Amino acid sequence: MALVIQDLHKSFDGHVALDRINLSIGNAEFVCLLGPSGCGKTTLLRIIAGLLGSDGGKISLDGRDLVNVPARDRGFGIVFQSYSLFPHMTIAQNIGYGLKIRRTPDDEIAERVNSLLDVVRLNGFGERYPNQLSGGQQQRVAIARALAVNPSLLLLDEPLSALDARVRAGLRQELREVQQRLGIPTLMVTHDQEEAMSMADKIVCMHGGRIVQEGSPRELYIAPRTRFVAEFMGHSNLLSKTVVQAWMPELLPDAHAGDAELFIRPERITMQKAAGAEGQVISTSFLGSIQRVQVLWKAQPLLVETSTTVDWTPGDRVHLSIAAQDCAWVQA
């Protein structure tokens, strides 16, 4: 494993920010810390970077204990939400800054900078200044600067959140391609589940200072273990045991002990118009390639996601089909 975190914890004025975190990041693995504001993900990243101390626990990189190693000696590359470029330096000078303070020969700096300008698709921009670039281009420069020193780990703190939607989507793909090509283990903080799902090998879902579930994007989306993960990883329907007992009793034998709820993704529900059927369309949201339909089904509100080939209107009577293999039990 490239990075191993064991029993890491941190509190601020008696408030627990991180509660016994255990996590590993493998060689060349792209890991996303995903969760709402205040869940502890940025605190965890800052402790890993050496910018913040912990109250206990262990951080090691290939067996080397990092707890008492200063940030400057950890050899990590860091990219923040704000670009933090030096406005008085050219793009080439910004990218090569970390190498310059390490007293790297000028010819080696120039070669490395030119190589990275190609990697981040900014050939010919080396002599420009940050204020002459768009936001997306400036973030590419920040990424290149972090990569210039050949970091053993790349840390990204919501690096795309300040960009508009179209630029952000494009840069996601570019960043992932660069990370895969260079094979650098990467940890990224985000609150955007779509961003995490499109980029990560592994998603670590955090809530209240704890890791509540980790796994591949597919695992967390299809098989969440808790209500929090089910709702945070996308749209979902959650049915109480009482409702299941009344309308789908055949699913009860698989219910978990305790306060479990039945989980169904909206796109897994099949819907057809049928006069006199038990379901009724309440409202619709047209989203281009898909539409989301609110349905009242046996006095239970459900969200159904369909293609746009059928025009649903409020009041339509509909029949719903829910297959057992498309459901799962989650803890409330």
Domain map (residue ranges) of the chain: 3-224, 235-327
In the 8-state DSSP scheme, what is residue 310?
Answer: S
Q: How many residues does the chain have?
A: 332
Please tell me the distance from the alpha carbon of residue 10 to that of residue 59, in angstroms, as a whole number.
13
Select the more confidently predicted residue: 110 or 166. 110
Residue 97 near residue 132, CB atoms below 8 Å:
no
Q: What is the mean pLDDT of residues 251-280?
A: 87
pLDDT at 299: 87
Select the more confidently predicted residue: 101 or 8. 8
pLDDT at 67: 87
Q: What is the mean pLDDT of the chain?
A: 92
Q: What is the mean pLDDT of residues 310-330?
A: 92
Please tell me the distance from the alpha carbon of residue 299 to that of residue 315, in angstroms, as a whole number.
14
pLDDT at 162 over 80: no
The predicted-structure confidence for 54-85, as pLDDT tens digits, reads as follows: 999 999 999 899 988 999 889 899 998 887 89
Confidence of residue 168 (pLDDT cuts 50, 70, 90): confident
Q: What is the mean pLDDT of residues 6-23?
A: 95
pLDDT at 257: 64
Select the more confidently predicted residue: 248 or 108. 108
pLDDT at 256: 67
pLDDT at 111: 94
The predicted-structure confidence for 225-263, as pLDDT tens digits, reads as follows: 999 999 999 999 999 888 888 888 887 777 666 788 999
Confidence of residue 117 (pLDDT cuts 50, 70, 90): very high
Q: What is the mean pLDDT of residues 295-301?
A: 92
pLDDT at 301: 95
Please tell me the distance from the alpha carbon of residue 155 to that of residue 141, in angstroms, as a whole number.
15
Confidence of residue 25 (pLDDT cuts 50, 70, 90): very high
Rounded to 10 deg, the angle between the 135-148 and 91-100 helix axes is 20
Confidence of residue 1 (pLDDT cuts 50, 70, 90): low
3-224 carries CATH number 3.30.43.10: no
Residue 52 main-chain phi, psi, to 5 deg = -150, 140
Residue 309 near residue 268, CB atoms below 8 Å:
no
Select the more confidently predicted residue: 149 or 283. 283
Q: What is the mean pLDDT of residues 136-165?
A: 89
Lateral strand order in the sheet of 237-239: 237-239, 260-264, 327-331
Please tell me the distance from the alpha carbon of residue 77 to that of residue 95, in angstroms, as a whole number.
12
**In the block, residue with structure tokens 């209240």:** 208
Could you say which architecture CATH assigns to the domain 235-327? Beta Barrel (2.40)
pLDDT at 100: 92
Give the percent of the chain with pLDDT over 70: 99
pLDDT at 249: 83
- One fold for 3-224 and 235-327: no
